[in-house]
Amino acid sequence: MTILLTITVLVLISISIWQITKIFELSQPKKVNTQVADDNDNQWNGQLMFAFLIFIYGITLFSFWRWGDVMLPNSSSEHGVEYDNLLWISFAIIFFTQTITQGLLHYFAYKYRGEKGKKALFYSDNDRLEAIWTIIPVFVLAGLILYGLYTWTDIMTVEENEEALVVELYAQQFNWKARYAGDDGVLGDANVRFLQDFEGKNLVGIDATDPNGFDDVVVQELHLPAGREVIFKMRSQDVLHSAYMPHFRAQMNCVPGMITEFAFTPTVTTEEIRQTDAMRAKVKKINKIRRENSEALLAKGEEPLEPYVFDYLLLCNKICGASHYNMQMKIIVETPQEFEKWMTDQQTFAEFIQ
C-alpha cells in the first residue's frame, strides 16, 4: 500500500510541475521568429567568419609545430630528391593560393555582410578580372603539369643496365619474398604452378628446368647496396598488392598474372640514417612513449615493449585482406662490400634443389 501511495504522489508531483511549466510559458510574451537574419545576426556571422579564418590557420601552424617530426625524412634514393622537389613546389603553390583565396573569402564575407538599407551591386561581367583569374592559373598549372610529366618520365623510365642489381619482389597474402638474380643478372622463369615443387618449399615458384634460375637467391629480408641501381620486378601470387618503400619514394602495384617494374638507387645506408640528428630525436621520442606504455603493461603483469630501432620497411599499400596491416619486410641498406659478403652467405636455388 505504501509503494502505491508513493508512486501516486510522484506522478501527481510530475503532473503539477508540467502544468506549472506550461502556465509559465503561456505567460511570457511571444517572440516572433521570422527566420530572417537581422543586422545583429549578420554582424555575428561576419565576425565568426574571421574567427574561423584565424582558427584554420592557427591549427595548421600548430600541426606543423606539434607533429612535423612525424613526416618522412629526406629521401634515401637518388630519384627521391626530384620527387620531393615536385611535392614541395606543389604544396607551396597550393598553400599560397589557399591563403590568398580563403583570406579574401572570409574578408568579403564580413565586409559585404547584410545591413539594413544596403543594396547589393551586381556585375554581369568584368573582363579584366576574368582574364586575371583565368590566365594566371593556366600558366601556373601548365608549368606544374609539364614539370610533373618530366619528373614522372625521368623516375618511371627503367633502362637496361648491366651493372644494376635485379631483384624480384614476390607478394602474397600476407608476406613478401625477395629473389635476387645471380651473377648472370637474369631471373629464372617462375610460375605459381611450381610453388608445390620440392614439398612446397619452392617459395616463389622457380622453374627448375630453367638454367637462368639456378643462381637465383630467395630471401625474406631485403638487402640493398648503397650507390648501385636496383631494378625491381614485381609479381603477386593472389590479389592486388602494392610494393611501397616510403623512405625511397618508391611504390608500384603488384598485379596477379603480370610483371611490373620499378628502379631506384639507394643512397643512405641503414646505419647512416640511424645516426642522423632527426632520426635520433624521433627514435628518442618514440622510446619515451614506449617506456611509459611499458610501465602500464608491467603494472598489469604483461610483457613490456621492446625499444624501437629504426629500419627501412617494404609495406603493402593496397588493402589486400584481414592481415594487410602486417604485410611488411625489413630492408637493410648497406655498403657494397657488406652486401657482397651477405650474398656469398646465401643459398642459391641450385644448392637448394641438390
335 within 8 A of 269, measured Cβ to Cβ = yes
The Cα 97–Cα 103 span in angstroms is 10
Tell me the sheet residues that pair with 168.
179, 233
178 within 8 A of 220, measured Cβ to Cβ = yes
**What letters, b where the CB count within 10 A reaches 16 and e where it falls short, cover 194-215?**
bbeeeeeebbbbbbbeeebbbb
What's the CATH architecture for 165-272+308-353? Answer: Sandwich (2.60)
The Cα 249–Cα 263 span in angstroms is 11
Residues 6+ apart with CB under 8 A from 234: 168, 169, 170, 171, 243, 252, 253, 254, 259, 260, 261, 262
The Cα 162–Cα 325 span in angstroms is 36
Q: What is the largest CA-CA distance in the chain?
A: 100
**Residue 183, all three cell numbers:** 651473377
196 within 8 A of 202, measured Cβ to Cβ = yes
Every domain of the chain with CATH number 2.60.40.420 lies at: 165-272+308-353
**Residue 84, all three cell numbers:** 620531393
What residue spans of the chain are helical by DSSP H? Answer: 2-27, 39-67, 78-111, 127-156, 197-200, 270-274, 277-299, 336-344, 349-353
pLDDT in tens, the chain (354 residues): 677 777 777 777 888 787 777 777 776 666 656 667 677 888 888 888 888 888 988 998 898 888 877 788 899 999 999 999 999 999 999 989 988 888 888 888 888 887 777 777 777 788 888 888 889 989 999 999 999 999 999 999 888 888 899 999 999 999 999 999 988 888 999 888 888 888 778 888 898 888 888 999 999 999 999 999 999 999 999 999 999 999 999 999 999 989 999 999 999 999 999 999 888 988 888 888 888 888 888 888 888 888 889 999 999 999 999 999 999 999 999 999 999 999 999 998 888 877
